[in-house]
A and B are shown apart, each in its own frame.
Chain A
Amino acid sequence: MIKRPFFVFKKPTLVYEDMNQGNYIPVVLPAPDNVTVYVKEKLVGIASEGTKPGDTVMEGDKLTISQESSIYATSPVSGEVKTVSAFPGDFGDDWTAITITPTAAEAEEDVAPEAPAKKEEAAEAEEAAEEAPEEEAPQGPDLAHLVEFLANVPGAPDFSVFQNPEKPVDTLIITGADEDLLCMTRQYVANSEVDNVRAGIKILKQATGIEKAILTLLRDAGQNYESVGAELAGVGMEYPTASPYLVVNDYLGRALLSDKPFEDSGITFMSIEAVAAIGKAITEGKIPTRKIVTVIDKNGKKTLVDVVLGTPISDVFAALRITAGERDRIINGGPMTGTALFSLDMPVTSSIDALMVQDSSNIPVVSDYPCIDCGDCCRVCPSKIQVNMLARVLESGDFELAADEYDLYSCIDCGLCGFVCTTQMPVFQYIKLAKYELARLEAEAADADSADEDAEAVAEENEAKK
């Protein structure tokens, strides 16, 4: 990472990682001794319906915690379910963690991932893929099938955005450029899985009916992607040009505020890895269970690894001989926008693109010093926010004022303000906290409104009865 130079003539320029600058070949890790997957649903009491400890599952099987729920996880291995337990996700989410111990045969076989999977092991996945073309449309599967089987492929596609009739989505932006520094996962997939991406885009366009697809690629790496069915958007090397907000601004000419999700404007994003996984699943008839992850060690050395979803982070680090000890920091994602993790037992999920380890001696201090108005943040801000004023307002907790007068929602969450801050204030944390709290208050207000409406409806009914 760059440090303040001796002479400062301009604001700092951070550039994305360019894969072509080095020879990056993923290290293929064997299937681990146990895998953990998350079902994004709250576990009430003990697991009685759905998946239970002791169950035997096949690779690609659905794991659920209740019979009627449509929320599921996909088992990345065949084996025996060991535990089903509650897990606290980020930002107060309640999830359920399911741990599976693979059967020995599976573990051995997985050492060579290129080996063709046994038919019976991928039975359901293949069924899904084969059924669809026969029954529904001759060209490919429809959206329902994707939702039914491919919601947990690497890259974590969110199909629910295509199913919301109130907010129709007309533009799909496929992100082939990594959004954070040091990450190369999407870049690698964009370079190495051209055919699968091609197939995936075709399938997605057919299944969702979306005409306009945009594929973002770092710089102009688009030579492999001629007539791919998506417009190519070359993203600049300078951080944060790959930010979703800036991509929408640069290629669709729309500067969107961050107070509403992109879907409200008819735009949705999907990682190129998810698109490749969808293409691969349908062409090969098997749900992909391996993911590319960029691992950044304490010295900043980057390694690509190819792991089975659900592999504990400790296994990934052990394979790369990375030790993470007391007071070190483990980060899910890149250095600017990632989230810190608290346990090595956490698994590689379908949405983790990068894992970063920082040595305790390299962790910058966050201070409680006040803003001194040096203005470095204002000059570096890609959204031209007056961050010095915004930070003051947020520090005093006046989130509504920040949103109304000080451009809180112009923020595109790049984190550059915290990166340059002279007094090392947690500026970015204040901004995220304000956005989260405002969203929570809005949701509460909406709940209260609907509760009021319900009460009114009941009252009216009672009136009518009288």
Chain B
Amino acid sequence: MSNNPKFIVSHAPFVHYGSSLQNKTYHTIFAALPAVIVGLLMWGVPAMAVIALSVGCSIIWEYIMNLILKRPQTVDDGNAALVGLLFAMLLPATVPWWLVVLGSAIAIIIGKMIFGGIGGNPFSPPLLAIAIIMVSWPHYLDFNVALTGYDFDFSMVYPLTAARSLGSTGAEAWSTLDLLLGKQSGGIGSTFSLGLILGGVYLILRGFIRWEIALSFIGGVAITALMFNMADPVRFAGPVFHVLTGYTLIGAFFLATDDASSPVSFLPMILYGIGGGFLTVLIRNIGTYYDGVVFAIILMNTASPLFGKIKPKAFGRVE
């Protein structure tokens, strides 16, 4: 008996599929890079500063919170960096440094850590931070004010402002190709639509996000925008404009698909996505804010546990 080696004894299953959280977050960061790199080329050093500060601060906030809460360190899972990156992608390049520090603190501490860290967050952390800043310091997120220092060969009016004030005539200032190539004013990483679509398709094909959520969100935006447009073609811009402007694409591929704050079954995912898209256009067209994505997804996040109640009948259950 004594000459036996010590074996590892644990519970079945003894094999694993090989998926991991690190893999998932690092690939999501990778998928966001096309949009980020084009954003950096467009907005220059200030954008670089915002992104670096946001990612760095997010990691530090999570590190500090883990120390305070006496929990094992989790920064190596990459989620803090991803939250920081997504938050920076939503900001205009000229945002003051203290807002980035504060915003990343809101995202990590209020958005994630006080709920027990990853998996416990009821809202998408970067969205919660951007929502609080939108309400508290709206002028810093007003792209028309923030980005006046830049001069490009395209209209620097925020597309959604133009659409709000001038209707579909305002929207005609941008061709679809311009919008796809990022020739529009907006957040650092949310203007280059083509890059966001590429990243999103990559994440869907690799199975890191659910196509049900992303596509139904885009579908919800398109269908609702189409209905408005058909009702009053002069006042409301068309579906393509709504899909390619503002936070729609980053919302569909990177924010609404946040695991913990979205449902997991098929029908709830579809309802969640369509509902988010519907609310987005509703807020844009007849609400107070220019872009409805932030509040639409946060509202759907709150409804996500309710959607979870729609569940398939489990094996052997008679109800």
Q: Which residues of chain A have a CB within 8 Å of any CB of chain B?
A: 1-4, 6-9, 12, 245, 249, 255-258, 324-331, 333, 335-345, 356, 358, 360, 363-364, 366, 368-376, 378-379, 382-386, 388-389, 407, 409-410, 412, 415-416, 418-424, 426, 428-429, 432
A432 touches B265 (CB 8 A): no
B253 to chain A, nearest CB (A): 16
B303 to chain A, nearest CB (A): 15
Q: B19 near A: Cβ within 8 Å?
A: yes
B18 touches A3 (CB 8 A): yes
A373 touches B260 (CB 8 A): yes
B17 touches A426 (CB 8 A): no
B16 to chain A, nearest CB (A): 4
A337 touches B315 (CB 8 A): no
Query: CB-CB < 8 A to B312: which residues of A?
Result: 384
Q: Which of B114-122, B139-147, B152-160, B288-296 contacts A (4 or more CB under 8 A)?
A: B114-122
B7 touches A324 (CB 8 A): yes
What would 15 more interface pairs be, CB under 8 Å, given A258-B316, A328-B7? A7-B205, A324-B5, A329-B9, A337-B12, A340-B7, A342-B7, A343-B7, A356-B14, A363-B8, A368-B72, A370-B117, A375-B264, A382-B315, A385-B315, A415-B12
Q: Pick from B8, B77, B210, B264: contact of A340, CB below 8 A.
A: B8
Closest chain B residue, CB of each to CB of A325:
B5
Closest chain A residue, CB of each to CB of B209:
A374
Query: CB-CB < 8 A to A374: which residues of B?
Result: 24, 259, 264
Q: Pick from B20, B74, B262, B315: contact of A412, CB below 8 A.
A: B315
Query: CB-CB < 8 A to A325: which residues of B?
Result: 5
Closest chain B residue, CB of each to CB of A337:
B12
A358 touches B264 (CB 8 A): no
With a 10 A CB-CB cut-off, give which of A4, A338, A429 has the most chain B CB atoms.
A4
A328 touches B8 (CB 8 A): yes
A370 touches B316 (CB 8 A): no
With a 10 A CB-CB cut-off, give which of A325, A356, A421 has the most chain B CB atoms.
A421
Cα-based distance from A370 to B10 in the complex (angstroms): 19
Q: B207 near A: Cβ within 8 Å?
A: yes
How many CB-defined contacts (below 8 Å) exist between A and B? 182
Cα-based distance from A326 to B6 in the complex (angstroms): 5
Looking at chain A's contact residues, is the secondary structure mostly helix, strand, loop, or mixed? Answer: loop
Cα-based distance from A325 to B5 in the complex (angstroms): 6
Cα-based distance from A257 to B318 in the complex (angstroms): 10
Query: CB-CB < 8 A to A415: which residues of B?
Result: 12-13
Q: Pick from A6, A329, A343, A421: contact of B4, CB below 8 A.
A: A343
Known A-B contacts A373-B119, A373-B264, A375-B264; A335 and B5 likewise in contact (beta carbons under 8 Å)? no
Q: B317 near A: Cβ within 8 Å?
A: yes
A17 to chain B, nearest CB (A): 14
Known A-B contacts A339-B12, A345-B1; A384 and B17 likewise in contact (beta carbons under 8 Å)? no
Q: Which residues of chain B have a CB within 8 Å of any CB of chain A?
A: 1, 4-21, 24, 72, 74, 77, 116-120, 205-207, 210, 259-260, 262, 264-265, 308, 311-317
A364 touches B15 (CB 8 A): yes
Query: CB-CB < 8 A to A412: which residues of B?
Result: 315
Closest chain B residue, CB of each to CB of A377:
B264
A372 touches B12 (CB 8 A): no
Cα-based distance from A360 to B7 in the complex (angstroms): 9
Known A-B contacts A345-B1, A420-B19; A256 and B316 likewise in contact (beta carbons under 8 Å)? yes
Known A-B contacts A345-B1, A384-B314; A4 and B13 likewise in contact (beta carbons under 8 Å)? no
Q: Pick from A373, A426, A432: contact of B259, CB below 8 A.
A: A373
Cα-based distance from A416 to B175 in the complex (angstroms): 49
Cα-based distance from A424 to B13 in the complex (angstroms): 11
Query: CB-CB < 8 A to A356: which residues of B?
Result: 14
A331 touches B308 (CB 8 A): no
Looking at chain B's contact residues, is the secondary structure mostly helix, strand, loop, or mixed? Answer: loop
A15 to chain B, nearest CB (A): 14
Cα-based distance from A131 to B207 in the complex (angstroms): 65
Q: Pick from A3, A386, A423: contact of B21, CB below 8 A.
A: A423
Query: CB-CB < 8 A to A421: which residues of B?
Result: 16, 19
A4 touches B17 (CB 8 A): yes
Query: CB-CB < 8 A to B265: which residues of A?
Result: 375, 378, 386
A428 to chain B, nearest CB (A): 6
Closest chain B residue, CB of each to CB of A369:
B21
Query: CB-CB < 8 A to B15: which residues of A?
Result: 1, 335-336, 364, 419
A420 touches B7 (CB 8 A): no
A428 touches B11 (CB 8 A): yes
Known A-B contacts A345-B4, A383-B314, A383-B315; A2 and B9 likewise in contact (beta carbons under 8 Å)? no
A371 touches B8 (CB 8 A): no
Query: CB-CB < 8 A to A331: which residues of B?
Result: 12, 14
Q: Pick from A8, A338, A383, A416: contact of B207, CB below 8 A.
A: A8
Q: Pick from A343, A373, A383, A416: contact of B1, CB below 8 A.
A: A343
5 nearest A-B pairs in the assembled complex, by CB-CB distance: A8-B207, A375-B264, A383-B315, A364-B16, A429-B11
Q: Pick from A256, A360, A424: contact of B16, CB below 8 A.
A: A424
B48 to chain A, nearest CB (A): 30
A7 touches B207 (CB 8 A): yes
B4 to chain A, nearest CB (A): 5
Cα-based distance from A416 to B68 in the complex (angstroms): 36
A428 touches B12 (CB 8 A): yes
Cα-based distance from A336 to B20 in the complex (angstroms): 19
Cα-based distance from A255 to B318 in the complex (angstroms): 10
Query: CB-CB < 8 A to A419: which residues of B?
Result: 13, 15-17
Query: CB-CB < 8 A to B259: which residues of A?
Result: 372-375
A409 touches B316 (CB 8 A): yes
Write 19 A-B pairs (CB below 8 A) sorted by A numbering.
A4-B17, A4-B207, A7-B206, A249-B315, A255-B315, A256-B316, A328-B7, A337-B12, A342-B7, A372-B260, A385-B315, A386-B311, A389-B308, A415-B12, A415-B13, A419-B13, A422-B21, A423-B21, A432-B11
Known A-B contacts A345-B1, A389-B308; A329 and B12 likewise in contact (beta carbons under 8 Å)? no
B239 to chain A, nearest CB (A): 28
Cα-based distance from A257 to B317 in the complex (angstroms): 8
A354 to chain B, nearest CB (A): 12
Query: CB-CB < 8 A to A255: which residues of B?
Result: 315-316
Query: CB-CB < 8 A to A257: which residues of B?
Result: 316-317
Closest chain B residue, CB of each to CB of A376:
B19
Cα-based distance from A374 to B206 in the complex (angstroms): 14
Cα-based distance from A330 to B311 in the complex (angstroms): 38
Known A-B contacts A370-B118, A378-B265; A385 and B7 likewise in contact (beta carbons under 8 Å)? no
A4 touches B119 (CB 8 A): no
Cα-based distance from A340 to B8 in the complex (angstroms): 8
